[in-house]
Structure 1
Amino acid sequence: MTDAQTRATTGTNPIAPAPAGARTAADVVTPELIAQLTKGIVGSGRTANHTPFTGEKLADLPESTPEDVEKAFEAARAAQSVWQQTPIRKRAAVLLRFHDILLERQAEVLDLIQLETGKARLHAHEEVQAVAVAARHYGRRAAAYLRPKRHTGAMPTLTKVTELRHPRGVVGQIAPWNYPLELSVGDAIPAFVAGNAVVMKPDTETCLTALWARDLLIEAGLPADVFQVVLGEGPVVGPEVVRHADYVSFTGSTATGRQVARSAAARLVGVSLELGGKNAMLVLDDADLDKAAAGAVRACFSSAGQLCISIERLFVHESVADAFLERFVARTKAMRLGNALAYGADMGSLVGERQLTAVTRHVEDAVAKGATVLTGGQARPDIGPYFYEPTVLDGVQDSMAVCAEETFGPVVSIYRFGSDDEAIERANSTPYGLNASVWTRSARRGREIAARLRTGTVNINEGYAPAYGSVQSPMGGMKDSGLSRRHGSEGILKYTEAQTVAHQRLLPMAPSLGMDDEKYAAFMSRSLRVMKALRFR
């Protein structure tokens, strides 16, 4: 630990009391549960995961070798050839059953998410909501997204064209630790209903959640071999997943995403990448400051800021900055920190030593270079080994690491601006482009500013949830924040290969009916002019 971490035994933020009779890790992660969840998982080695609440070991787990990964792909490939022949309505029915079972048994997975990530229970419930919505959406809409589509042919009435969608085969998925339910099975759901198998490598420290979700999908009717899970160190197992996959889905850092993209490109395999962010929230001069302050707490500190789309840069119009900060800092100081498997805490723990070190480095560097801590700024080992208070920094300059680097923790920097144009320019002045938030009483003004922000999603009068939760619409990043999208049509079509079938009838696409080449060329030129005049597309 750093000196700052050692010093802090108490702090500004209160501790949420644990309810009487609250469950413990031993109550939740039993030998019977581990045996059930790891049944059929390929792994000839052994590894373990731990809970951030105490740092103690949760479970011993199988660890996969490169040979084990190859075996998992072989099993998935054999199962996929059968699964893709299953009628889509039956594949979709699996998702709808999964939706119902997930909501019925949500308490089980909320315990696992909390134990593995350290997040507050309400933030864990965001994952349940997101996965249930995705399962319902693709369970209801997959058939429409994937059905054969008729298109106008090269020669209207003579050329009949149909677009078909085929599954890619076996999707290799590398899922992160921060949202172990939503970013594992949530991304796999559209791949399954499109007829693919999935070989997933979740982060070992949060793999029990992914394994639980796999078990639930099998209970809902998914063939077990269609969903393979491999566990192990990222640098060992991750490249093997990419090496065998027909398509790669990756969520994680931009640096690792570039490596994944290079490896996939060498094999001419498609990729979907959701990467880092340095997301901005703009509080305009006409914003409702009470609502904006409450929204900023949600936007900045959900899951202790360990969310790709959370806010790390807060731009406030200079005319309302003092009034806004008074409200925002007061709400931040009042946030309750806690480690109980129950509702009541406003924020939980960071996931581990690495995140705590990164957060501490950013705050200490900023303070050393002249920034002011308005609240927070210290670790809370009195609650747990990786707790850090929600922190608001003022006076942040370009020379400070926290200004440009992704913190991925409960730290937000305040910047004042004088005009909308200035705010937009500064919000866009980052290599990232994942999410943004705009607060204003004018819907028109909010939409106009949103259209000028270079981010994949923009939320007006909220931080991130409306855009992410609107699953009919695409979600993803611009610039260094990624490639491709999840949700909506793009979120399922990326797991398919498009095939065009063109049936030419009556006349060939060549000189016929006694025409020589010159007459055929003239005939086609006249036809093209007519089709333009008739507004053919």
Structure 2
Amino acid sequence: MTLTADAPVTTTDEQPKTFDSYNPTTGDVYATYPIDDAAAVQAAVERAREAADWWAGLGFKGRGKYLDQWRAVLARRMNQLADVVYAETGKPHGDAALEVGMAIEHLAWATKHAKKVLGKRHVSSGLVMVNQRATVEYLPRGVVGVIGPWNYPVFTPMGSIAYALAAGNTVVFKPSEFSPAIGTWLVDAFHEVLPDHDVLQIVRGFGETGNALCTSGVDKLAFTGSTRTGKKVLAACAETLTPVVIEAGGKDSIIVDADADVDKAAEAAAWGAFWNAGQTCIGIERAYVHEKVYDRFVDKLVERAKAVQPGVNYGPMTMPAQVEVIRKHIDDAIARGGKALTGGEVTDGFIPATVLVDVPEDALAVTDETFGPTITVRKVTSAQEAIDLTNASEYGLGSAVFSKKNGTWIADKVRSGMTAVNAVLVYAAIPSLPFGGVGQSGIGRIHGEDGLREFAQPKSVVKQLMPAALNVTSFDRGPTEDKLWGSLILTLHGRANQFLKKQ
């Protein structure tokens, strides 16, 4: 099964050998790279396999030395990398620098906490096995494949790369075909720190290259992208029983309760919906607003949306095909009785911030991921109605709640992997929090302790300290041992059973 891709290809023979990345703002070719075929991908994985034992053998402290040096390089050259991000994605330099800085923060956290989270530790053996000494540690998996997206081409793949490296794995990274120069820059910076071992490598190309990585025998595959492509990744990895972590699409909502600070809620909704031209997997695409504050919220949101300028506050659509998706969603919403209070016109890749109201819940702009600078707003009569509408989506990535009294209560009832109360998107910037969704939004987690363990495998070791007072794991066990075993279990657990019977 081949993963899909939609980027221009330069044909130098009967088969394409190279491909171009473009500056979406100007349309100019920014860089040209060779397409790595299945043989090239396999060779990269084999090199990573050869380096894996060396990298794992360094231990947490040894690996940390190189990761800290890489982090320092990224920090010193943050503006240089931001320039490359701007050139390949079109996002403003300030947003690019924000993305790079967040990635550096995650790299620092993963490096610092890897030993504490993954290192060997003693665990209780319990009363029954008190004569045993039990330990658990989390060992590197070996080689991890990472397939990154184009919307946050530094921050998002680093959420897998940094944690996988800190856990002791080597990595083969395939960036999006829309951002190969960014991926190349990251890997080249690592090679400056560690030039002699293939700990982090890059492969470039389209869906065929990604498919080859999925079936190459890597020990785990981390993918970020659309739900549709994520399902293809899962199917391809299933051929070799390769475990996956998939961060897929979202249709996140913001719930604005009756007691919310409307000004702050509208400001947050605008940022969550329109930042990066809406090309954010955890972007806010739906708003459910209590009827008591609905009119004020809509007025404030429209005011905010009108002040946002495409080409100034955010760039163009990085992927040209997304323009038609956004146009289709807006047109469908209006055809079904919705109204665009601002924006709504899709003439080129610079799409204006669009606020849609009176949109039915079965419209594409409500059910499907738009991935553009749009938001639908619906009036609700209660927080519970907003919760029910939010949870009706097949997606469940992130969410936001604005309420002075009931924010946590509402957040606990929302079906999503992450929820921010009186803020939006902030959980992505907190390295200690796991990041991921439920339902059609993906499998597994990156970031935090869960993200480190995602790229490691638990190893349990038990050592007998003394002979057991009651040996039940032997064919020498007889009726006396069986009776004593029954008495022991009854003594340890029988009181709880008696208590439950009385209830």
**Structure 2 residue 186 is the aligned partner of structure 1 residue 213:** yes
Q: How far is 1:268 from its partner? A: 2.4
Q: How far is 1:468 from its partner? A: 1.3
Taking the aligned partners of 1:528 and 1:137, their CA distance within structure 2 comes to 44
Of 440, 448, 452, 1:492 maps to 452
Change (3 A) 1:470 1:117: same
Partner in structure 2 of residue 278 of structure 1: 251
Of 304, 313, 322, 1:346 maps to 313
Q: How far is 1:160 from its partner? A: 1.0
Partner in structure 2 of residue 506 of structure 1: 466
SS at match of 2:204: coil
Of 351, 354, 362, 1:388 maps to 351
Partner in structure 2 of residue 170 of structure 1: 143
Partner in structure 2 of residue 151 of structure 1: 123
Partner in structure 2 of residue 104 of structure 1: 76
| Aligned residues of 2:356 and 2:374 also touching (Cα < 8 A) | yes
**Structure 2 residue 220 is the aligned partner of structure 1 residue 250:** no
Q: How far is 1:272 from its partner? A: 0.4
| Aligned residues of 1:130 and 1:186 also touching (Cα < 8 A) | no
How do 1:412-431 residues align onto structure 2 when only pairs under 5 Å count? 412-431=375-394
| Aligned residues of 1:437 and 1:460 also touching (Cα < 8 A) | yes
How do 1:391-406 residues align onto structure 2 when only pairs under 5 Å count? 391-406=354-369
| Aligned residues of 1:173 and 1:199 also touching (Cα < 8 A) | yes
Of 38, 45, 58, 2:30 maps to 58
Of 333, 339, 345, 1:366 maps to 333
Runs of 4 or more above 6 Å deviation: 512-515
**Structure 2 residue 156 is the aligned partner of structure 1 residue 202:** no
**Which amino acid is the alignment partner of residue 483 of structure 1?**
I
**Which amino acid is the alignment partner of residue 471 of structure 1?**
P
How do 1:304-383 residues align onto structure 2 when only pairs under 5 Å count? 304-338=277-311, 345-379=312-346, 381=348
| Aligned residues of 2:107 and 2:158 also touching (Cα < 8 A) | no
Q: How far is 1:377 from its partner? A: 1.3
Give the fraction of aligned pairs with identical amino acids, expressed as a percent: 31
Taking the aligned partners of 2:476 and 2:440, their CA distance within structure 1 comes to 55
Change (3 A) 1:415 1:85: same
Change (3 A) 1:103 1:512: closer
Taking the aligned partners of 1:243 and 1:216, their CA distance within structure 2 comes to 28
Partner in structure 2 of residue 13 of structure 1: none
Q: How far is 1:282 from its partner? A: 0.8
Taking the aligned partners of 2:20 and 2:144, their CA distance within structure 1 comes to 25
Of 97, 102, 118, 1:130 maps to 102
Deviations 1:283-323 (A, max 9, x none): 11111111111111111011111110000001111111111
Change (3 A) 1:397 1:526: same
Change (3 A) 1:534 1:365: closer
Partner in structure 1 of residue 113 of structure 2: 141
Of 216, 232, 238, 1:259 maps to 232
| Aligned residues of 2:471 and 2:477 also touching (Cα < 8 A) | no
| Aligned residues of 1:275 and 1:481 also touching (Cα < 8 A) | yes
**Which amino acid is the alignment partner of residue 352 of structure 1?**
M
How do 1:179-190 residues align onto structure 2 when only pairs under 5 Å count? 179-190=152-163
Deviations 1:140-175 (A, max 9, x none): 111101110212226444111111221111111111
| Aligned residues of 1:185 and 1:214 also touching (Cα < 8 A) | no
SS at match of 1:435: coil
Taking the aligned partners of 1:198 and 1:482, their CA distance within structure 2 comes to 21
Taking the aligned partners of 1:170 and 1:152, their CA distance within structure 2 comes to 32
Change (3 A) 1:85 1:513: closer
How many residue pairs were aligned? 479
Partner in structure 1 of residue 418 of structure 2: 457
Of 413, 427, 448, 2:409 maps to 448
Change (3 A) 1:215 1:513: closer
Q: How far is 1:524 from its partner? A: 2.4
TM-score by length of 2: 0.91
Q: How far is 1:275 from its partner? A: 0.6
Q: How far is 1:258 from its partner? A: 1.6
Greater shift in the superposed pair: 355-364 or 253-262: 253-262
SS at match of 1:110: helix
| Aligned residues of 1:98 and 1:135 also touching (Cα < 8 A) | no
Taking the aligned partners of 2:41 and 2:473, their CA distance within structure 1 comes to 56
TM-score by length of 1: 0.85
Deviations 1:339-396 (A, max 9, x none): xxxxxx3121111320111111111222223211111112365xxxx11111111111
**Which amino acid is the alignment partner of residue 209 of structure 1?**
I
Partner in structure 2 of residue 68 of structure 1: 40
